[in-house]
Every structure is written in structure tokens, then in C-alpha cells.
Amino acid sequence: MSAPRIGVLALQGDSREHLAALTEAGADPLPVRRREELDTVDALVLPGGESTTISHLLTEFDLLEPVRDRLAAGMPAYGACAGMILLAREILDAGTGQRRALPLNGIDMTVRRNAFGRQVDSFEQDLPFDGLADPVHAVFIRAPWVEQVGPDVQVLARAADRIVAVRQGAVLATSFHPEVTGDRRVHRLFVDIVTGRR
């Protein structure tokens, strides 16, 4: 079986780290900045960064509706931190005016932006992760948490009794940044989701 072509949204945020992690996890990654690139990928990673900025750039680059349409059509996706925020159905504290994070409706969840605090409140923690044998070392940077999930959403991990990793069908999201740790198990899980092995 050939490696799945997985796009990484490369408008803002830590796209390089995800591209490297996906390569190590057995995918054929591609930076996505234009509609033509989005059209060639089997799945999409939405990286960490600043959710209102990424949302604004999705609109500026005419990618917001195409990404929403692909998600609605069943495209697998993985969102980390800001990516989790964007994949939500509803975003609490989404910003104001033109600088609002716009939900992509990829997962039936309500997410609170920057819920764990500001940059100075960033932290690391080992977490049990459903489906993985050993705990995941999770790095939280101005991280969101999930306030509410719909009936079809599987909760995969919690930190401080808050939901920080979820899956709904072929869409995965984490509050934390596995791409910065060297542990590729979350990315391998996503590759397996894309290829239908998980």
C-alpha cells in the first residue's frame, strides 16, 4: 500500500514539525497553502499556532469553505491545539470582530480557547491515551480544552479532569503538541485512521 498523502495547513503555526512527524509516521506529507494543493491530499493536519490568525488566513486564501466542504464529505483530519479549536462545532472565547476563530465543524464539540491559561501557564504532563499502550508526554502551550462533546465523539485523554483529546470518525484532535516531543504515536494513529487500519 502506498503512503497516504497528508496535507499540513501551512498558513501559520508549526507546520514543519508536523511534516517531519508525518514522514516518520509513514505518510507522504505536503504543505497546503492553496486550493489546488488541498485537492490533492487524502487528509489534512491543522497545526498549532494562533487560531484567529489561521482562521483569518483560511478566509484570505479562499480555503475556509473548501476545507469545510472536504470535512463534510468525510476527509480525515487531525488538529493540534489551534487545530483542535478550528475543528470544533462551537468555539468559546472565539475573539471579536474580524479576528474571530471560525469553526470548521469537523467534530461535534465545544472548545474553549486558551483555557489552560496564557503562554506562561504552559505545562507538560504524561497522560494515559485511549488506544495507546503507554502514556503520551503531552506539551500544552496556551492550550484549549473541550467543554462538551456530542454522542458520537470518543474521549481519548484528559488532563486536570478536562478533555484534551478526542476522535469522531476519521477526525482526531488534541489540545497538546505531540509533534514537538519525538513520540510519533499520535501521528501514527492518524496515519492508521487515514488508511483505514484504525
**Cell matching residue 183:** 513520540
Asked if 56 is an active-site residue, the reply is no
Q: Other CB atoms closer than 10 Å to residue 125's CB: what's the count?
A: 15
User: Taking a C-beta distance cutoff of 8 angstroms, is the pair 48, 83 a contact?
Assistant: yes
User: Does the annotation mark 177 as catalytic?
Assistant: yes
User: Of 17, 18, 56, 177, which residue is the catalytic one?
Assistant: 177
For the annotated binding site, the residues are 49-51, 113, 141-142
Helix, coil or strand: residue 92: strand
Of the candidates 17, 18, 56, 179, the residue annotated as catalytic is 179
Residue 24 designated active-site = no
With 0-12 / 13-18 / 19 or more C-beta atoms within 10 angstroms meaning exposed / middle / buried, residue 111 is: buried
Report the Cα 2 to chain-centroid distance in Å.
Answer: 24
Residues annotated within a binding site for L-glutamine: 49-51, 113, 141-142
173 pairs with which residues across the strands? Answer: 79, 166
d(CA 108, CA 87): 9
Catalytic residue among 17, 18, 56, 81: 81
Question: CA 27 → CA 20, 122, 154, 174, 181, distances in Å?
Answer: 10, 30, 24, 19, 18
Do 78 and 115 meet the contact criterion of CB atoms below 8 Å apart? no
Active site residues: 81, 177, 179
